[in-house]
Structure 1
Amino acid sequence: MLTTGLLSPRRLPAPDGVVRVALVAAGALLLAGDQVRIEVVARGNVRVEIVELAGTVAYAMRGGSARWDVDVELSDGASLSWHGEPFVVAEGAEVDRSTSIRLGAGSRAALRESLVLGRHGEAGGALRTTTRVALGDEELLVEHLDLSPGRRSGWAILGDSRCLDAVTTLGFRLPEAEQTLQLEGAGSIARRLVAAQHTSDLGEVWAAL
């Protein structure tokens, strides 16, 4: 079942065993007061592929704020592949993002996420992200990241970079490599801090999945 809100999901042609869904903005996104919620539920021997047709820009909010929440539940061997387009936080934007993923036995997920602070020539607004992943009854990943101005410039966060590009695998691991964090459970995070997404080499990592 596909439900339209601020995003309009569209079913795309796909081979047997694959459900491919495109996310299309139903209007201008993101503006002050917007609350986007995306829910993905899949069970059984099915592969869900989420396709973003364009990046998202969070615009200046003049004291307001917006939310972007993702909730995923995969069970009985279902899998998810989600290649996100750049999520751009313009000057003056205030955004909270959360991602919650629950994986049952035999299920797995791969996600590409590119967070960009500011459009060309901008310093960018405030972005706070929370990610929680459970594999069965065990927590696989819990992360809180504050990319607000004044906090993100530390050497251990963004430094002088403008884009945080990441490929995350859950339920399986990426090959051992520099700049790849292997989680205690079955999962990996490969990250790059770059000036612009197109300078990241994570496209090659994604293509090899």
Structure 2
Amino acid sequence: MPTRIEVVADPVRDRCVLTTDHISPRRLPAPTGVVRVALVAAGALLLAGDRVHLEIDVSGPVRVEIVETAGTVAYGMRGASARWDVDIRLTAGARLWWHGEPFVVSADAAVTRSMTVRMESGCRAALRESLVLGRHGEAGGALQTLTRAWIEDELVLAEDLDLSPEARGGWAVLGSARCLDTVTSLGFRLPEDAQTLQLEGCGSIARRLVHEHHESDLRRLP
């Protein structure tokens, strides 16, 4: 059973149903029109063999804010691997803001991360993903990321990144950096600048390559 966050807008009180698996979602106080949910690890994460699956389903004119209470460390896996999969569905004017904390891939870890977003026109999402290859003084393990996003039937984003040690050092990937910090907007565009990619569909990707996570200036979602 996946961890699941289901929110339905209601004029009296927005309905929020939370299901726990590897991650325990907990509702936090928030102003009217906002549902704020914290993600808390229900046990040690991320270990060899773990299969974390998180589903977020939001319907109606409500803003859902996902808060990570701490970063995640993928520990050494001795030849094994782990997965971290996120499926997001937004309908009827829903908005999702997710400010991700650092996801650290330790030496000898092997992780596949995927995110799939399906949303109707009129919905919005802003997603921050901070990937850190290795703890302090480490080279870091292997990471594969897969991202797909649709607005209605239009595929607006399809990105696969091979961040394994032998691939990520190329100048077109990370070069000498060890942190990849990204803010993705869907359903609206981020302001134009030299480091922001405007998608053909309605969305943008702002990305920073830095050696230390705190050096990134992508500290807040729009």
Per the normalisation by structure 2, the TM-score is 0.92
Q: CA deviation at 1:17?
A: 1.3
For residues 197 and 181 of structure 1, the distance between their equivalents in structure 2, rounded to whole angstroms, comes to 21
SS in 2 for 1:2: strand
- Give runs of aligned pairs for residues 45-60 of structure 1, distance below 5 A: 45-60=61-76
- 1:9 paired with 2:52, answer no
Match of 1:165 in 2: 181
Unaligned 5+ segments in structure 1 are none
Name 2:91's counterpart in structure 1.
75
1:97 and 2:113 aligned: yes
Corresponding residue for 1:19? Answer: 35
1:62 is matched with 78
Partner of 1:136: 152
Q: Distance in 1 between matches of 2:164 and 2:121?
A: 37
Q: CA deviation at 1:16?
A: 1.4
Matched, 1:39 2:79: no
Alignment partner of 1:87 is 2:103: yes
How many residue pairs were aligned?
206
- 1:69 CA displacement: 0.2
Which secondary structure does the structure 1 equivalent of 2:214 belong to?
helix
3-state SS of 2:177 partner: coil
Aligned to 1:149: 165
Distance 1:17 1:175 in 2: 25
What secondary structure sits across from 2:165 in the alignment? coil
Using the alignment, how far apart are the partners of 1:133 and 1:173 within structure 2? 15
1:156 match: secondary structure: coil
What is the alpha-carbon distance in structure 1 between the residues aligned to residue 42 and residue 83 of structure 2? 16
Distance in 1 of aligned mates of 2:50 and 2:36:
26
Report Cα offsets for 1:159-180 as digits up to 9, x if no partner: 0100000111000000110110
Moved over 2 A (4+): none
Counterpart in the other structure of 2:142: 126
Pick the aligned partner of 1:28 from 44, 50, 67. Answer: 44
Give 1:129 shift: 0.3
1:147-190, CA deviations, whole angstroms, 9 ceiling, x for partnerless residues? 00100000000001000001110000001101100000110000
Give the partner amino acid of 1:117: L
Amino acid at match of 1:128: Q
Q: Which residue of 2 aligns with 1:110?
A: 126
- Compute the displacement of 1:40 (Å): 0.3
Deviation at 1:105, TM superposition (A): 1.7
Distance in 1 (alpha carbons) for counterparts of 2:121 and 2:203: 14
Q: CA deviation at 1:202?
A: 1.2
Structure 2 letter corresponding to 1:72:
I
- Provide TM-score, normalisation by structure 1: 0.97
Q: How far 1:201 sits from its partner (Å)?
A: 1.0
Structure 2: unaligned runs, 5 residues or longer: 1-16
